[in-house]
Amino acid sequence: MVVSAEAELDLGVLAVTDETVRQYLEAVGDEQPAYFDLALAPPLALSAWSLGALLKQLALPPGAIHSLQDVETFRGVSFGEKIHATAQVAKPRQRGNMKFLSVGLVLTDSSGQQVQGGKTTILVVDSVGETKSPQLPSKKRSETEAGESSSGSSPAVSRTISQDRLNAYALASGDDNPLHLDAGFAADTPFGGIIAHGMLTLAFIGEMMTAELGRFWLESGSIKARFKGAAYLGDQVTAWGRVADKGSGTESPSAEYSVGVWNPASGQELIIGSATARTILA
């Protein structure tokens, strides 16, 4: 890495405009009208832009991948705002030939008020060309287990991973890791081929939650996600959500969901996590 561990990084200013939001939404395939009806940015778009800026400064090995992602939204970010992003890099943790780097992210508005916080954990494998994938173990799931046939489930979001989509996402987010773009490079990694950006597949959950909760998600949505598998070119993946707790009768009601992304063809679980949003906003 170019920067030392336990460093604080200035990631610059993110200009939120209808054009940058539209570019992001087109890249992930999200056609929900709420963003333009409310003139509010998708929370995961802010995270994606911050992560893209972070990766530029960290200058990690090009095969580095996502392991964990937490995002907490404190208020909605409107079109026309400029958001300042900073990052706090923690000391890396080593496990065998794998290194885990955790980074805290803070996004503030022009007045210094925090609008979003989060934590990203990046996995760096010390060598490439190995046959074993660095993915964490992932059990297969049935359609019912994934929530598609369960009572209280959210409308599923399905997308096919194509190179055009990965190219568009790289431009929209700033994440141009060759693992997602260069077939020759990707073939020589433990994955054996091009895989989708983790934040791209996570965006399918963001779309699902926007469809489910609208303004509540855009103004207070939070997500904790663990990346457990990779989506390859040609894979059709599906985001699922299942209500865990509606939170009625509390002082600050919130909706809580179990969420994930899986590959129905293989039964592989790609992302597993939880999402919440306040259902009454001050």
Give tens-digit pLDDT for 22-75. Answer: 999 999 999 999 999 999 999 999 999 999 999 989 878 877 888 999 999 999
Q: Is the pLDDT at 235 greater than 90, yes or no?
A: yes
Q: What is the CATH classification number for the domain harbouring 173?
A: 3.10.129.10
Tokens of 51: 């992560």
Distance CA 236, CA 159 (A): 6
Nearest to 155 by CA among 208, 204, 113, 199: 208
pLDDT of residue 62: 78
Distance CA 162, CA 159 (A): 9
- Residue 6 pLDDT level (bands cut at 50, 70, 90): low
CA angle 29, 33, 39 (to 5 degrees): 110
Domain assignment present for residue 2? The answer is: no
Tokens of 14: 């993110």
pLDDT of residue 153: 73
Tokens of 3: 């920067």
Domain assignment present for residue 250? The answer is: yes
- Residue 166 pLDDT level (bands cut at 50, 70, 90): very high
Distance CA 103, CA 122 (A): 8
pLDDT tens figures, 78-136: 999 999 999 999 988 888 878 899 999 999 999 999 999 999 999 887 654 443 444 44
Q: Is the pLDDT at 280 greater than 80, yes or no?
A: no
Q: Total structural domains in the chain?
A: 1
Distance CA 158, CA 137 (A): 23
Domain assignment present for residue 1? The answer is: no
Residue span of the structural domain in which 50 resides: 8-278
pLDDT of residue 20: 97
pLDDT of residue 130: 43
Tokens of 15: 């200009």
Share of the chain above pLDDT 90, in %: 71
Domain assignment present for residue 3? The answer is: no
Distance CA 115, CA 182 (A): 35
Distance CA 74, CA 135 (A): 32
- The count of residues in the chain is 282
Instruction: Write the single-letter amino acid at 181.
Output: L
Neighbouring residues of 74: CB distance < 8 A, sequence distance ≥ 6: 113, 114, 115, 116, 117, 220
Distance CA 17, CA 85 (A): 16
> What is the SS3 assignment for 6?
coil
pLDDT of residue 137: 42
pTM: 0.89
pLDDT of residue 248: 56
pLDDT of residue 95: 82
- Residue 173 pLDDT level (bands cut at 50, 70, 90): very high
